[in-house]
Amino acid sequence: MRIDRFMSLHLAINRRDVKLMLAQKRILIDGVVADDTLQVIDEFSRIVFDGQVLQASSPTYIMMNKPVGVVSATKDEQHKTVVDLLEYTESASLHIVGRLDLNSSGLLLLTNDSRWSRKLMKPEKKVSKVYRVTVGKPLTEAYISAFYEGMYFEYEDITTRPARLTIISEQVAEVTLVEGRYHQIKRMFGRFRNPVLALHRESIGGLLLDPELAPGESRPLKTEEIRQLS
Ligand code: URA
């Protein structure tokens, strides 16, 4: 967004007034006097007007080990949300990058950097998400080809992209998806009338859930982890 638009929205003034303020050198952007109405700022630019901070937030990236029974949302009337579990003071500005169902667990990312999360979730990016799935009935080789070939979902009128399924034990599989349709894994096993008993996300884009994190715990991403997913 341009600085003149930001200021006029923020202070409910017209852009001509902003031009005057810029000429009077009353606005600082990231510590530097601003003098150009065309200067572009983003959600993390520090904006100071007459010594008063109008905007100052830094990008935050968090991984959580989501427990079962907690909603992937910022607010919910009925259940505890993942944001309720955070200790971070700026948690109100965070959003979730790729939800998990109420009864799913594992790696969940939260951020206030919408450009980063949008890029990460772009369908063309085909970011792999790996899940460990426990089902109610024994698995067979037929699952592997059915998941790979894709399944037609009538409601969305789409065919799922090739998914990799590896049989780990009689009732446990590892499933890799490059998309995230509503209840996708449960619906795919549902085609075999095989109920999902447990669903745990192990990684996103090669980033593994930190084994040190107990269910409900979280930590900031490291610089190299942020870069890995950028
Ligand atoms: N697929 C599901 O069915 N649920 C999840 O939480 C994630 C993938």
Asked if residue 178 and residue 134 are part of one domain, the reply reads yes
Cα 40 off chain centre by: 25
Is residue 29 within 8 A of residue 15, CB to CB? The reply is no
Residue 192, in any domain of the structure: yes
pTM: 0.87
Secondary structure percentages of the chain, helix, strand, coil, to 5: 25, 30, 45
Give residue-wise pLDDT tens across range 183-225. 999 999 999 999 999 999 999 999 999 999 999 999 999 999 9
Instruction: Evaluate if residue 43 carries a pLDDT over 90.
Output: no
Residue 200 Cα to ligand 1 midpoint, Å, equals: 9
Give residue-wise pLDDT tens across range 62-87. 999 999 999 999 889 999 999 999 97
Phi, psi angle pair for 110, to nearest 5°: -130, 145
Asked if residue 194 and residue 137 are part of one domain, the reply reads yes
For ligand 1, residues with CB inside 6 Å are 100-101, 104, 183-186, 199
Domain termination residue (choose one: 55, 73, 90): 55
Residue given tokens 């399924």 in the structure block: 165
Residue 202 Cα to ligand 1 midpoint, Å, equals: 12
Is residue 56 within 8 A of residue 41, CB to CB? The reply is no
Residue 48, in any domain of the structure: yes
Taken in order 74, 95, 199, 145, the sign of the CA dihedral is positive
Instruction: Evaluate if residue 89 carries a pLDDT over 80.
Output: no
Range of the domain at 44: 3-55
Asked if residue 49 and residue 76 are part of one domain, the reply reads no
